[in-house]
Amino acid sequence: MEVVTDVQGGLLVVVLDTNPIYWMHEKDFGLKHAIESVLLYVNAYLLQHRNNRLVILAAHAGKSVFLFPDPDGVNRTGSAEQFSSVKEQVWRKLTELSNAPIDEANNKTSLSAGLSLALCFINRAMNESRELQPRILVVDGSPDFAEQYISIMNCIFSAQKKHVPIDSCVLASEPSAFLQQASYLTGGIYFKPKEPQGLVQYFLSIWLADADTRQMLKLPTQASVDFRAMCFCHKQTISTAFVCPVCLSLFCEFSPVCSTCGIRSQIKPLKAKRPIHQIS
């Protein structure tokens, strides 16, 4: 008689954009609606399997922090038995974040820090259990920031190496080229909801299924991916750039000194050839 062993649960890490500076520009929906939708989604995820684990991170203004579970608590992992306490703890942590002052000099959403923290947690969890099936869901409401390009790409390559899919739910007004590349290169699902009011339905129908179940479902795919990068000088999307050989910063215009690391380039740009005048 064949004995059916218990299947290893999954690990879902949600990176939630909680920067109020960018959420206040959304008229149709706000941060509260997004948080409530995420909480309903993660509760459904925890109820799928008793061994499912949950982590919620806040990509806030200039920093990234744990919302659930409490890293200083006794139980450091979310589980199905804890889903009743998720809502209470998340709102308590968000209240602490909202009451804390925001540094005006560093008020951009730290998406790269949130992804780095998520991958560090996943790496530690995978060392404890090799059969764990981790994944990351990014709920982003902010635009892309050029200065985070290299750190986000490093996170993408790390997730790709660890076989961790990065799902992306983009709620900003413009598509995210960074998250398009993240989902494409890691095998995740990138989607920009057309009706944010029905966010719960999008979460449950697109991102609730695990990797094995997704192969049997017809889910949204990217018709095209914007692989262009952003320059560090003018923060513009570019197809061709000058690259610093030390820090790999990208610039749309040549400069003998890198503004990021200060290295002086020994290469001079080619001068334009003079036009050849025909003799009539």
223 part of a folded domain = no
pLDDT digits (tens, 9 = 90+) for 20-42: 888 876 666 788 999 999 999 99
**What φ, ψ does residue 93 adopt, rounded to 5°?**
-65, -40
pLDDT in tens, 259-272: 888 888 776 666 65
pLDDT digits (tens, 9 = 90+) for 158-212: 999 999 999 999 999 899 999 999 999 999 999 999 988 899 999 999 999 999 9
How is residue 264 annotated by DSSP? Answer: B
Task: Answer yes or no: do 240 and 121 share one domain.
Answer: no
CATH number at residue 16: 3.40.50.410
pTM score, two decimals?
Answer: 0.84
Residue 52 · residue 12 · CB < 8 Å: yes
Q: What integer pLDDT is reported at residue 59 of this predicted model? A: 96
Question: Does some domain include residue 270?
Answer: yes
3-state secondary structure of 185: helix
**Per-residue pLDDT at 270:** 61
pLDDT at site 49 = 87
Residue % of the chain over a pLDDT of 90: 49
β-pairing, 250-251 vs 242-243, is antiparallel
Q: Over the chain, what is the mean pLDDT?
A: 86
Note down the domain range covering 252: 228-280
- The alpha helices in 129-271, defined as continuous H runs, are 149-161, 177-186, 199-206, 211-214
Q: Is residue 28 located within the same domain as residue 92? A: yes
User: Within a domain: residue 28?
Assistant: yes
219 found inside a domain: no
Which residues in the chain belong to E strands, given as ranges?
10-17, 53-59, 64-68, 133-140, 166-170, 190-191, 229-230, 237-238, 242-243, 250-251
Tens of pLDDT, residue by residue over 109-120, are 999 999 999 999
* pLDDT tens digit sequence for 75-132: 545 555 566 788 889 999 999 998 888 887 788 999 999 999 999 999 999 998 888 8
Residue 237 shares a structural domain with residue 170: no
